[in-house]
């Protein structure tokens, strides 16, 4: 027997033993064995060896799976190297979206953000400051000045006027204010400066005024009367004093013409004071000199102006 015949006979013998061994391994993992016991030591020791050519042939060809092995019911008995990777559905759940959010986290964040913007818009609509509407209502004689608090009689004494060179008539200007806001508004202060138009067309500054105390308006209210105390003054040292004095003297007689009064009011509001916003209101109104009220106090404005002009 030559060497080639010997190798061929040996390979046939190993192949038959391999088939017997596979049959034995299949019996051990059949459905009759619910625990799928492993091969015994005798089976392992009696398992024939393979030469390198058989190993190479077996590695190059896919090994058939045992049809009697129930893979679905034995997932708990798999080895660590037999675990399957995550399926596509699980990967989709784990996938990250915008700003490192998961899909559910992103949806929850967007819903919360939407309600936050809606609440912010509603709050802004009701709390956004709306500038009140103001218009001139009336003007009258005041009992005292806004600054010093002196009475009319004290202010309009002839001796004092001649000494100071200034005639001051304390007035109260009533301004009607409407509050369009949905919350009450409080005016801290209102400052007012006024002038009159003289015959030559120039403007003559006649004094300043202010709000004595804070003024609060209810929400969505109209017809709120705000009183500003204004000191109407004529100074003999001014350049166009004579034109202004002539205008006032002609108006402060019974049935005299109205005085054209221009004013600019600056409003200080608590709600928007932190924004450094100070609304300004300007207007031109006609008012009559309070002759009857001055005469009831024993004050003759015409004679006082004449003394100041002559002096």
For 232, the 3-state DSSP assignment is strand
Structure confidence by residue, pLDDT tens digits, 117-172: 999 888 888 878 788 888 888 888 887 555 555 666 666 676 677 677 888 888 99
CATH dotted code for 133-310: 2.60.40
How would you class 36 by CB atoms within 10 Å of its CB: exposed for 0-12, middle for 13-18, buried for 19 or more?
middle
pLDDT confidence bin for 225, thresholds 50/70/90? very high
pLDDT confidence bin for 27, thresholds 50/70/90? very low
Helix, strand, coil tally for the chain in percent (to 5): 40, 30, 30
Per-residue pLDDT, averaged over 194-199, amounts to 89
**What whole-number distance in Å separates Cα of residue 180 and Cα of residue 190?**
18
* pLDDT of 191 strictly over 70: yes
- What is the dihedral sign for C-alpha 71, 75, 77, 79? positive
What lies within 8 Å, CB to CB, of 277 at 6+ separation is: 129, 269
Structure confidence by residue, pLDDT tens digits, 40-50: 555 555 555 55
pLDDT of residue 193: 93
Q: Which of 189, 205, 194, 190 is nearest to 171 (CA)?
A: 194
Whether 177 contacts 132, CB under 8 Å? yes
Give backbone dihedrals phi and psi of 67, rounded to 5 degrees, phi first. -70, -20
Per-residue pLDDT, averaged over 94-99, amounts to 56
Q: Which of 216, 226, 234 is nearest to 306 (CA)?
A: 234
Q: Give CA torsion, residues 292, 294, 299, 300, to 10 deg.
A: -60
Q: Which uninterrupted H or E stretch holds 196?
A: strand 185-197
In the chain, what are the domain boundaries?
A: 3-84, 90-127, 133-310
* pLDDT of 215 strictly over 80: yes
**What whole-number distance in Å separates Cα of residue 294 and Cα of residue 256?**
14
* pLDDT of 25 strictly over 50: no
The DSSP bridge partners found for residue 281 are: 265
Q: Taking the model in full, what pTM does it have? A: 0.58
Whether 245 contacts 234, CB under 8 Å? yes
Whether 156 contacts 303, CB under 8 Å? no
Per-residue pLDDT, averaged over 200-215, amounts to 88
What lies within 8 Å, CB to CB, of 32 at 6+ separation is: none
| CA distances from residue 262 to 49, 192, 203, 282, 289 in whole angstroms, order as listed | 120, 10, 9, 8, 15
The token duo for 86 is 């995550």
**What whole-number distance in Å separates Cα of residue 310 and Cα of residue 264?**
32
Whether 216 contacts 186, CB under 8 Å? yes
- Low-confidence winner among 16-30, 137-151, 251-265, 274-288 (lowest mean pLDDT): 16-30
For 172, the 3-state DSSP assignment is strand
pLDDT of residue 9: 54
pLDDT confidence bin for 116, thresholds 50/70/90? very high
The token duo for 119 is 């609440």
The token duo for 65 is 């799976």
**What whole-number distance in Å separates Cα of residue 191 and Cα of residue 43?**
111
**What whole-number distance in Å separates Cα of residue 71 and Cα of residue 11?**
33
Residue 73 DSSP class: G
Whether 208 contacts 257, CB under 8 Å? no
């Amino acid at each position: 027997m030559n060497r080639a015949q010997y190798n061929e006979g040996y390979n046939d013998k190993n192949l038959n033993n391999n088939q017997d061994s596979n049959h034995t391994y299949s019996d051990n993992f059949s459905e009759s064995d619910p625990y799928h016991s492993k091969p015994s030591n005798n089976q392992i020791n009696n398992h024939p060896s393979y030469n390198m050519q058989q190993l190479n042939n077996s590695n190059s060809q896919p090994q058939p799976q045992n049809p009697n092995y129930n893979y679905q019911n034995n997932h708990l008995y798999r080895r660590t190297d037999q675990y399957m990777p995550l399926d596509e559905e699980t990967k989709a759940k784990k996938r990250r979206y915008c700003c490192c959010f998961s899909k559910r986290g992103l949806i929850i964040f967007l819903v919360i953000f939407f309600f936050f913007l809606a609440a912010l818009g509603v709050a802004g609509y009701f709390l956004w400051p709306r500038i009140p509407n103001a218009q001139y209502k009336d003007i009258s004689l005041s009992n005292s000045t806004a600054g010093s608090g002196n009475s009319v009689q004290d202010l309009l004494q002839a001796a004092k006027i001649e000494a100071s060179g200034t005639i001051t008539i304390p007035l109260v200007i009533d301004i009607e204010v409407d509050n369009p806001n949905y919350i009450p508004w409080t005016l801290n202060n209102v400052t007012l400066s006024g002038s009159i138009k003289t015959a030559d067309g120039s403007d003559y500054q006649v004094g300043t005024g202010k709000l004595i105390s804070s003024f609060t308006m209810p929400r969505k209210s109209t017809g709120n009367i705000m009183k500003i105390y204004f000191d109407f003054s004529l100074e003999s040292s001014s350049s166009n004093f004579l034109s202004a004095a002539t205008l006032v003297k002609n108006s402060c007689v019974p049935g005299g013409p109205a005085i054209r009064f221009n004013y600019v009011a600056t409003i200080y509001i608590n709600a928007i004071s932190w924004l450094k916003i100070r609304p300004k209101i300007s207007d031109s109104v006609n008012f009559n000199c309070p002759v009857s009220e001055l005469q009831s106090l024993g004050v003759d404005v015409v004679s006082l102006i004449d003394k100041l002009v002559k002096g």
